[in-house]
Structure 1
């Protein structure tokens, strides 16, 4: 297993000695070299700083547990785009008897109503007869449940799908740490509480922005964000645990997760991809570069469910388009000019100003995309990739997404090439 996702390939520090530090009292099974081992690993770009030691008593206790049951599943982040589709996929699986969706209620909406609104928005098929909603918080101790409720939940679950996260690109890693790193430690502890459970954690290929020593010293930005740093840290931790028999984990690194192969509906403007498409429509051009890596939401759900139910689940997957394509396809479907990166940047700067271009496009998105959107796609061996028809899928996506002209506020014209 590659312990350092986007690692530097060089050791910036000596291998860290095993120590006996708890990062959080909510995960007593894992010991680290220091209380802030994650911060040290990120600050130095050294994955070995985050190498955990499994408590010996925990190792003996878990060794007596049977393999995870495969008929019950807990979805954390069930009210999100991916989480709702995953609930639908699991609920329609004949081998699954119960799907537990953990959702936070708001002051104005119940957890059930929030889930139903997401299901309706994306037209997800769900067998609600199999779905049990738990009002909980994946970032809180014991998920915000009382001890009895937490123990009962731990007794009943076999598969955990951790889709909960924050796509906040403006907050620092320190701001995100308590919620999204410490919460992963709590989920790991939950996975060996009462029974052994298999965790599928949804990571991000954005973690691959961190490849060289200087990447870890960059100031935070839209691309080199606290969110990407959090995904790097969590991927490193899971990489170490994949080599240990105590925990059963799968890191599922995700590219852009777009709409399903049949509906084509996704969060739209919440994605930076769609913002870039809006800019391209506004200037009538897109640069001649590689198409982004993506996976339809129903495909990633299928892969995650099939893998977790396998006799030997893969420790790392990267479900992504298995064949390459380029922005020429976008240009054809949207009626845009295909230009060089410099020309594309100049058109945006001329129309919207240098400040807007620098903020939206960074130094060079083309370089970043070539770094992050790697050609590899990692699927289970028997996965059928016939879904990957780029033209058909982007015709569907461009015809269903609601865009607007970023520079005028008007709704963007519909796709012209389909």
Structure 2
């Protein structure tokens, strides 16, 4: 079993840990951790965390499609079974997903407590029947510290790794972030885990720690893969979006202001969530990337300027201005009425985010061809239906 402090492997590592940030001290499994190796075969019983989340419901959709005989145990953050069921059913309904209730077991849970709040009997039952775990659940606020996110993101992963040591041999598939990948200059690499977190962001740090823990578990017999997600945009069919999406709220905030930074090179990741889920489930059930990291981002992209040209063509009034003026005169003054407000600290400096070159062999092999304008039309219809982007600059704004 694992200690919640992720005990270090050797005394030298323990001594060194006092000189390291907390996230770096958490990256080691206990010395006694070994795992039964699961055979490669179709899943009979899947455990899915974060089942009612934006990606979670689309993973359910793809699992039902590709492995219709599989029973999915869905962990939903809720206080009661009734609340958990209601949350999952409403999330599926809102995103146009049909749920096979005969093959779904909904469990109320809490990632931040031991065994997710499940009773010992239910935990033993899951250990005995589950053969595959998809760990999708997490707290994802990029402004929170590593310490704040540690229980929900890191300790929950240790709990699931402990479950993998009990009962039936299990495969483990973990959903991480592109920004936890190894990076050199503006290149993000695939397959391997970074030696240290490259972004001092609590959420990214927590994802990096989990990648390190899982990498070591793979070396001790566990089977599975790590999937790194970039931006997750709407579904190709309905355009359904996660209202908390960072990029979407950046765009909306600029429309509310009537001005946007005239970034010249920024490419926005337009990866439809249903296609990401399809790639992930296809890879996992076919064992395409055993004990490897896979970068799942930029299935399609659009230039920053091109996006605003599209919005202007739909009637929005927005001017592209000098990024320094945008940051100093506009971002600095936004309040809670502006969609950009929760992400304000990221944009108080005017520097344009660097253009990233992302290694993603699997994405390229699948040769996904998306019509960007058609995709944007689908998204825009959804935004309009939800009154999400109905803001116009009232008058020309002095710069």
Does residue 362 (structure 1) correspond to residue 345 (structure 2)? The answer is no
Shift of 1:118: 0.9
Shift of 1:188: 1.1
**What residue is the counterpart of 1:251 in the other structure?**
226
Shift of 1:343: 4.8
Does residue 173 (structure 1) correspond to residue 175 (structure 2)? The answer is no
Question: Alpha carbons of 1:365 and 1:274: their partners in 2 closer, same or farther (altered >3 Å)?
Answer: farther
TM-score between the two structures when normalised by the length of structure 1: 0.75
Looking at structure 1, the residues matched to 283 and 173 of structure 2 have their Cα atoms a distance apart, in angstroms, of 9
Contact 1:317 1:379 in 2 (8 A): yes
Does residue 265 (structure 1) correspond to residue 240 (structure 2)? The answer is yes
Question: Alpha carbons of 1:40 and 1:301: their partners in 2 closer, same or farther (altered >3 Å)?
Answer: farther
Looking at structure 1, the residues matched to 304 and 120 of structure 2 have their Cα atoms a distance apart, in angstroms, of 53
Looking at structure 2, the residues matched to 350 and 98 of structure 1 have their Cα atoms a distance apart, in angstroms, of 50
Does residue 376 (structure 1) correspond to residue 359 (structure 2)? The answer is yes
Looking at structure 2, the residues matched to 298 and 358 of structure 1 have their Cα atoms a distance apart, in angstroms, of 29
2:372 to 379, 390, 400: 390
Looking at structure 2, the residues matched to 107 and 140 of structure 1 have their Cα atoms a distance apart, in angstroms, of 15
2:120 to 147, 155, 159: 147
Aligned residues: 367
2:303 to 326, 329, 338: 326
Which whole-Å deviations, capped at 9, do the CAs of 1:180-238 have from their partners, x for residues lacking one? Answer: 211111111212321221111111123359879xxx999xxxx8432222122222333
Structure 2 counterparts to residues 5-404 of structure 1, below 5 A: 23-24=3-4, 32-33=9-10, 43=21, 50-52=27-29, 55=32, 58=34, 62=36, 66-67=39-40, 69-106=42-79, 110-207=83-180, 224-242=200-218, 244-268=219-243, 270-281=244-255, 282-288=257-263, 289-314=265-290, 315-322=292-299, 324-335=301-312, 336-345=318-327, 348-349=330-331, 352=334, 359=345, 361-364=347-350, 366-367=352-353, 370=355, 373-379=356-362, 383-386=366-369, 388-401=370-383, 402=386
Shift of 1:413: 4.9
Question: Alpha carbons of 1:285 and 1:311: their partners in 2 closer, same or farther (altered >3 Å)?
Answer: closer
Looking at structure 2, the residues matched to 133 and 350 of structure 1 have their Cα atoms a distance apart, in angstroms, of 44
Contact 2:131 2:170 in 1 (8 A): yes
Question: Alpha carbons of 1:151 and 1:246: their partners in 2 closer, same or farther (altered >3 Å)?
Answer: same
Which whole-Å deviations, capped at 9, do the CAs of 1:363-386 have from their partners, x for residues lacking one? Answer: 24622x53xx54333426752412
Unaligned runs of 5+ in 1: 1-20, 406-410
Looking at structure 2, the residues matched to 286 and 165 of structure 1 have their Cα atoms a distance apart, in angstroms, of 31
Looking at structure 1, the residues matched to 79 and 250 of structure 2 have their Cα atoms a distance apart, in angstroms, of 32
Shift of 1:274: 1.8
Looking at structure 1, the residues matched to 8 and 87 of structure 2 have their Cα atoms a distance apart, in angstroms, of 37
TM-score between the two structures when normalised by the length of structure 2: 0.78
Unaligned runs of 5+ in 2: 186-195, 313-317, 394-399
Question: Alpha carbons of 1:172 and 1:36: their partners in 2 closer, same or farther (altered >3 Å)?
Answer: farther
Contact 1:403 1:412 in 2 (8 A): no
Looking at structure 2, the residues matched to 217 and 306 of structure 1 have their Cα atoms a distance apart, in angstroms, of 29
Contact 2:149 2:202 in 1 (8 A): yes
What is the DSSP-based 3-state SS (H/G/I as helix, E as strand, rest coil) of the residue aligned with 2:174?
strand
Question: Alpha carbons of 1:198 and 1:93: their partners in 2 closer, same or farther (altered >3 Å)?
Answer: same
Looking at structure 2, the residues matched to 393 and 36 of structure 1 have their Cα atoms a distance apart, in angstroms, of 51
Looking at structure 1, the residues matched to 182 and 322 of structure 2 have their Cα atoms a distance apart, in angstroms, of 23
**What residue is the counterpart of 2:193 in the other structure?**
none
Question: Alpha carbons of 1:239 and 1:374: their partners in 2 closer, same or farther (altered >3 Å)?
Answer: farther
Shift of 1:90: 1.3
Looking at structure 2, the residues matched to 150 and 241 of structure 1 have their Cα atoms a distance apart, in angstroms, of 20
Question: Alpha carbons of 1:108 and 1:160: their partners in 2 closer, same or farther (altered >3 Å)?
Answer: closer
Shift of 1:248: 1.4
Contact 1:202 1:251 in 2 (8 A): yes
Contact 1:75 1:100 in 2 (8 A): yes
Which whole-Å deviations, capped at 9, do the CAs of 1:59-98 have from their partners, x for residues lacking one? Answer: 5xx25x6446523211111121111121122123345421
What is the DSSP-based 3-state SS (H/G/I as helix, E as strand, rest coil) of the residue aligned with 1:175?
helix
**What residue is the counterpart of 2:397 in the other structure?**
none
